[in-house]
């Protein structure tokens, strides 16, 4: 019988891992290096913002939250990928699979919510500069960051609870990591109801942020159109890093959404894998570089820290 009781499925097989032979050790080293670079870049950014009192401003607090979320998402993906790259069976236990689903989905929502809050911060900074510190008070900043994390974690509890209770008949997941909808498609029963619920939950978890981003940039645009060339250039410079970060994440997130819902068999397998992990890998990899290079206050302090440490090394 192909019908299996849900309690009998104690592991899933991630079929997107191709047979790698001896090359798997090279892939392992590449993935490990990528993981370490992401952790290093984000930890440096978080450390500099936390230690430098001059960076204790709303924008940098939100950036610190974004970097923390990047570390959180990376920890949800990379350790499991490293294990499976070396594995011959490419299996993941049921428990680990659902833990990974929870981490990656809350990371995804957290990333977009953080970016929405940062867009609102830019709106207040450009459209209400005189009242900026009054509107974005320390207490309000803390509340926004707390709300970002509570919303990201809280909204997904019902969805994953429904998935965990489903009776599954298959155990092949056509990805290199566990995703909620990939597990839902393994169910024995008709999934139309839960599929609709997942879609509604996805809309609920993205539309408020999207509306906030659109509103913020619409207001910024209106102000810029009435401002001088110098003010326009300053506003553009202020928003460029955020826009680059937003576009980078949105591209990967959008592909992941359509990949789950539509047939992507025409896309080469290697390209599918790269695009499916784009929203998890590239934002935490590129965000610290974008803000570290483009934000002069962060760049100067990072350089000062490293140059200071270099000068303290005794000469032999």
- Give residue 2's pLDDT band: very low, low, confident or very high (50, 70, 90): very low
- Give residue 312's pLDDT band: very low, low, confident or very high (50, 70, 90): low
DSSP 212-228: HHHHHHHHHHHHHHHS-
pLDDT at 20: 72
Residue with tokens 């000068």: 311
The candidate with the shortest Cα–Cα distance to 239, out of 140, 91, 115, 133, is 115
Please state, in angstroms and rounded to a whole number, the distance separating the CA atoms of residues 96 and 99.
5
What's this model's pTM, rounded to 2 decimal places? 0.89
Q: What's the maximum distance between 2 C-alpha atoms anywhere in the chain?
A: 73
Q: What is the pLDDT of residues 161-174, one digit of tens each?
A: 888 888 888 889 98
pLDDT at 297: 79
| Mean pLDDT (whole number) for 176-203 | 86
Residue 243 has pLDDT above 90, yes or no: yes
Q: How far is CA 107 from CA 39, 89, 173, 183, in A?
A: 15, 27, 20, 18
Residue 146 has pLDDT above 80, yes or no: yes
| Mean pLDDT (whole number) for 222-232 | 85
The candidate with the shortest Cα–Cα distance to 292, out of 32, 125, 47, 117, is 47
| Mean pLDDT (whole number) for 280-301 | 86
Rounded percentage of the chain residues whose pLDDT exceeds 90: 50
- Give residue 309's pLDDT band: very low, low, confident or very high (50, 70, 90): low
Check residues 15 and 68 and name the one with the higher pLDDT: 68
Residue 36 CB neighbour total at 10 angstroms: 12
Q: How far is CA 143 from the centre of its chain?
A: 21
Mean pLDDT of the chain: 87
Check residues 213 and 260 and name the one with the higher pLDDT: 213
Highest mean pLDDT among 102-106, 155-159, 189-193: 102-106
pLDDT at 316: 41
Residue 310 has pLDDT above 70, yes or no: no
Residue 227 has pLDDT above 90, yes or no: no
Sign for the CA dihedral angle at 213, 37, 149, 154 comes to: positive
- Give residue 3's pLDDT band: very low, low, confident or very high (50, 70, 90): very low
Rounded percentage of the chain residues whose pLDDT exceeds 70: 93
Please state, in angstroms and rounded to a whole number, the distance separating the CA atoms of residues 225 and 104.
39
DSSP element (H, E) containing 281: helix 278-294
Give ∠ CA 145-205-193 in degrees, rounded to 5: 150
pLDDT at 311: 54
pLDDT at 6: 45
- Give residue 214's pLDDT band: very low, low, confident or very high (50, 70, 90): very high
| Mean pLDDT (whole number) for 261-287 | 85
Residue 276 CB neighbour total at 10 angstroms: 23
The token pair at 262 is 């539509």
Residue with tokens 């820290």: 305
Sign for the CA dihedral angle at 43, 120, 286, 155 comes to: positive
Residue 93 has pLDDT above 50, yes or no: yes
**CB burial of residue 229 (10 Å; 0-12, 13-18, 19+):** exposed
Please state, in angstroms and rounded to a whole number, the distance separating the CA atoms of residues 288 and 40.
10
Q: Are 104 and 77 in contact (CB under 8 A)?
A: yes
Q: What is the pLDDT of residues 102-116, one digit of tens each?
A: 999 999 999 999 999
DSSP, res 168: B
| Mean pLDDT (whole number) for 237-259 | 88
pLDDT at 154: 87
pLDDT at 244: 92
pLDDT at 55: 86
DSSP element (H, E) containing 11: strand 11-14
């Amino acid at each position: 019988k192909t019908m299996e009781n849900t309690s009998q499925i104690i592991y899933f097989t991630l079929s997107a891992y191709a047979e790698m032979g001896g090359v798997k050790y090279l892939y392992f080293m590449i993935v490990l290096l990528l993981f370490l670079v992401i952790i290093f870049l984000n930890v440096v950014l978080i450390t500099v913002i936390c230690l430098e009192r001059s960076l204790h401003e709303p924008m940098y607090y939100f950036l610190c939250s974004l970097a923390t979320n990047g570390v959180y998402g990376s920890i949800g993906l990379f350790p499991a990928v490293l294990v499976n790259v070396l594995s011959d069976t490419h299996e993941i236990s049921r428990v680990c699979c659902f833990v990974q689903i929870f981490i990656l989905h809350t990371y995804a929502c957290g990333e977009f919510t953080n970016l929405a809050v940062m867009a609102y911060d830019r709106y207040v900074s450009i459209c209400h500069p005189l009242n900026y510190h009054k509107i974005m008070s320390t207490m309000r900043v803390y509340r926004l960051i707390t709300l970002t994390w509570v919303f990201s974690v809280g909204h997904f509890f019902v969805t994953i609870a429904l998935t965990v209770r489903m009776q599954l008949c298959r155990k092949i997941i056509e990805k290199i990591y566990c995703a909620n909808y990939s597990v839902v498609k393994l169910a024995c029963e008709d999934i139309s109801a839960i599929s609709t619920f997942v879609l509604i939950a996805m809309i609920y978890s993205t539309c408020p942020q999207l509306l906030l981003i659109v509103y913020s940039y619409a207001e910024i645009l209106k102000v810029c159109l009435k401002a001088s060339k110098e003010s326009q250039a300053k506003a553009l410079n202020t928003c460029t890093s955020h826009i680059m970060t937003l576009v980078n994440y949105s591209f990967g997130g959008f592909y992941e959404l359509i990949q789950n819902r539509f047939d992507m068999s025409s896309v080469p397998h290697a390209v599918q894998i790269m695009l499916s992990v784009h929203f998890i890998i590239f934002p935490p990899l590129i965000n610290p570089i974008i803000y570290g290079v483009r934000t002069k206050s962060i760049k100067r302090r990072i350089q000062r820290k490293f140059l200071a440490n270099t000068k303290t090394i005794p000469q032999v």
